[in-house]
Structure 1
Amino acid sequence: MTENRLYAILGGTSGIGLATARQLVARGDRVWIGGRSPERLAEALAQLGDRAKGTLVDITDREALTTFFARGVPQGEALSGLFTPAASYRTGPFRHGDTATSEALFQAKFWGQYWAVYAALPVLRSDASLVLMSGAASQRPIGAPAYAACNAALEGLARGLAVELAPIRVNCLSPGTTDSELWRNRPADQREVAYAQWRQLCLLERPASVAEQAHAALFLLDNTNMTGSTLCCDGGYTFR
C-alpha cells in the first residue's frame, strides 16, 4: 500500500477503532477519527500524534455525519478507506418487547453505518475500501435475537454495497468478545464471568485483543481482491 493515504474511522477514539488508527499511523498513513466523547477524542489525538485529526460526531445523526466527512477531507484529496466500528447500544431478550434493545439497537448499529457510508460517498477515492463491523452473533446467536439480526443485516449490507459501489470495495469485520475498554470499564466480576463463558465457547479459549481485531480490519482495508466478504475474527467461536 502507498503510504500517507487518508483513512476515516468512526469510533476511532477507543477500542478496535483506536487500535486500527494506531496501526495506520504507525505505517505512515493519516487518520480522521470521530467519536462522541470530547475527553476520549482529545486523549486519542494526543496518543496518535500529528498524523491524526478528528472531530466529535454522533453516528446516529445524518447531518453530523455529512459534516464529519466534509471537515475531514482536505480540498483536492479523497479518502482511501473508511472503518465504522462506532456504536453504542443495549441488547436484550425478544420477550421483553423493549424498543431500546430492538429498534434503537438497529438505529445505532445498522443505520448508523448505513448512513455513514452514504455520507462518505462524495469524498471516496474510486479504489477506496470500506469496512463495516458486525459481530459473531450473526453466525451463532445465543440470545438477544435483535442483536443477531442486526449483525447479520450488516453483513448483508456489505455484500449489497459491494455490488452497487464497485470498484469501491466493501467488506465486514465480525469480531467476537474482545478485551477492550468496553469490558475493562465494567465491574471486574461481570467481566470475568463473560470472559470465562467466552473461553468455553471458542476454540482458542480466550478473548481477542484490540490489536488482533485491528489487524483484521487492516487486512480488509488493504487487500485489493477482497470485497463483499465477512471476516470472522472470533477465535473459532462459530465452529465450536
Structure 2
Amino acid sequence: MNPTDTAAAAPRRVAVVTGGSRGIGRAVAERLAHDGLIVAVNYASDSASAQETVKAITAAGGQAIALQADVADEHAVTAVFDRVEAEFGGVDVVVNCAGRMALSPIADLDLSVLDAVLRTNVRGTFVVAQQAARRLRAGGSFVAFSTSVVATQFPAYGAYTASKGAVEALTLTLARELRGRDVTVNTVAPGPTATDLFLDGKTDEQIEALAKTPPLERLGTPADIAHVVAFLTSREGHWVNGQILRANGGMA
C-alpha cells in the first residue's frame, strides 16, 4: 500500500472543547478545527454562541457539533463524552476552557460567590479531567486552564487564583497517573487576554495599565492562546507533559 494511502485512511482526530462558545474557548475550537480535528463545542447555557462557533467552523470547511453541559455536573459531562464517542469513534484531545471569575477583596467576598467559582473552576476541571483520563486514546492530550495571576497575585483575585491554583496542582499528578498511556496533561495560564471574561467590570484605565504590564506591552488575544493549545495537542508538542505554560507576553 502506498504510504499516502495509509495516511489518507487514518481516522480524523476528535476534540472536546468545554467553554467553546466564546472567548478563548471559541478560538481554541476554531483553531483545532482548522488543524483538521472534529470538534465538539461544549457550552453551559449560551446555545446561540455555541451554534455560531459551529457555523464558523463548518463555513471554513471543518466539522463540529455543539453539546450542552455544566462542566461541574458529572452526569451531563459523561453524556457529552458518550455522544462524542458514539458519533465519532473516540476522543483524542480534551481542552477545558470553561471557567468563572469573580473579583473582590477576600474580606468582602460573598461566600456563595466563592462556592460558584470553586464549583466551575475546581470541580468542573476535575470532572472533565476525569472523563479525559478514562477516554483519551493513545497519542491524546488534555489541556486545562489556569491564570498567570496565580504568580502575579494581584489584589481582588483571591477566589479566582485559589481555584486556579488547584488546577495547577492537579496537572502533574494526572500526567503521572497516566503513565504508559501515551497521553499528555498540561495547563495553560494566560496573562491579560482581551475576552469578555477579562474585560467585564474593568475601567479603560485598568485595562490600559494591565496591557502595559507584559514586556510586549499589549493584551493577549484569544488566538494567541489558541496557538499554544494547538501546539500542546499536536504531534510536535507531545513531549511537553505535566507542565504549567504561562502564555502572558513576559509577565511573572
Query: Common fold, TM-score beyond 0.5?
Result: yes
Equivalent residue, structure 1, for 2:56? 47
Equivalent residue, structure 2, for 1:147? 160
Question: Which runs of 5 or more structure 2 residues have no equivalent in the other structure?
Answer: 1-6
Cα displacement (A) at 1:163:
0.7
Cα displacement (A) at 1:54:
2.1
Render the CA deviation track for 1:11-38: whole Å, top value 9, x for unaligned.
Answer: 1111111111111111222111100211
Aligned residues of 2:192 and 2:210 also touching (Cα < 8 A): yes
Identical columns (%): 25
Q: How many residues align?
A: 235
RMSD of aligned residue pairs (Cα, Å): 2.1
Question: Which runs of 5 or more structure 1 residues have no equivalent in the other structure?
Answer: none
SS of equivalent to 2:97: coil
Cα displacement (A) at 1:121:
3.5
Equivalent residue, structure 1, for 2:238? 224
Aligned residues of 1:172 and 1:230 also touching (Cα < 8 A): yes
Deviates more, 1:50-59 or 1:154-163: 50-59
Aligned residues of 1:220 and 1:226 also touching (Cα < 8 A): yes
Q: Map 1:83-98 onto structure 2 (within 5 A).
A: 83-98=95-110
Aligned residues of 2:146 and 2:168 also touching (Cα < 8 A): yes
Aligned residues of 1:91 and 1:101 also touching (Cα < 8 A): no
Q: Distance in 2 between matches of 1:111 and 1:213?
A: 23
Q: Map 1:201-220 onto structure 2 (within 5 A).
A: 201-220=213-232
Amino acid at match of 1:137: V
Q: Distance in 2 between matches of 1:73 and 1:21?
A: 18
Equivalent residue, structure 1, for 2:132? 120
TM-score (ref. length: structure 2): 0.86
Q: Verify: 1:170 aligned to 2:179, yes or no.
A: no
Amino acid at match of 1:192: D
SS of equivalent to 1:130: strand
Equivalent residue, structure 2, for 1:131? 143
Judging changes above 3 Å, is the alpha-carbon distance between structure 1 residues 66 and 27 closer, same or farther for their aligned structure 2 residues?
same
Q: Which consecutive segments of 4 or more residues in structure 1 shift more than 6 A?
A: none
Cα displacement (A) at 1:155:
1.0
SS of equivalent to 1:8: strand
Q: Verify: 1:68 aligned to 2:76, yes or no.
A: no
Equivalent residue, structure 2, for 1:21? 29
Amino acid at match of 1:153: A
Q: Distance in 2 between matches of 1:104 and 1:63?
A: 18
Q: Verify: 1:179 aligned to 2:221, yes or no.
A: no
Render the CA deviation track for 1:194-213: whole Å, top value 9, x for unaligned.
Answer: 32121232211110011111
Q: Distance in 1 between matches of 2:11 and 2:251?
A: 35
TM-score (ref. length: structure 1): 0.90
Q: Distance in 2 between matches of 1:200 and 1:181?
A: 19
Aligned residues of 1:11 and 1:17 also touching (Cα < 8 A): yes
Q: Verify: 1:198 aligned to 2:207, yes or no.
A: no
Q: Distance in 1 between matches of 2:48 and 2:89?
A: 29
Structure with higher Rg: it is 2
Q: Distance in 1 between matches of 2:211 and 2:101?
A: 24
Q: Distance in 1 between matches of 2:112 and 2:101?
A: 8
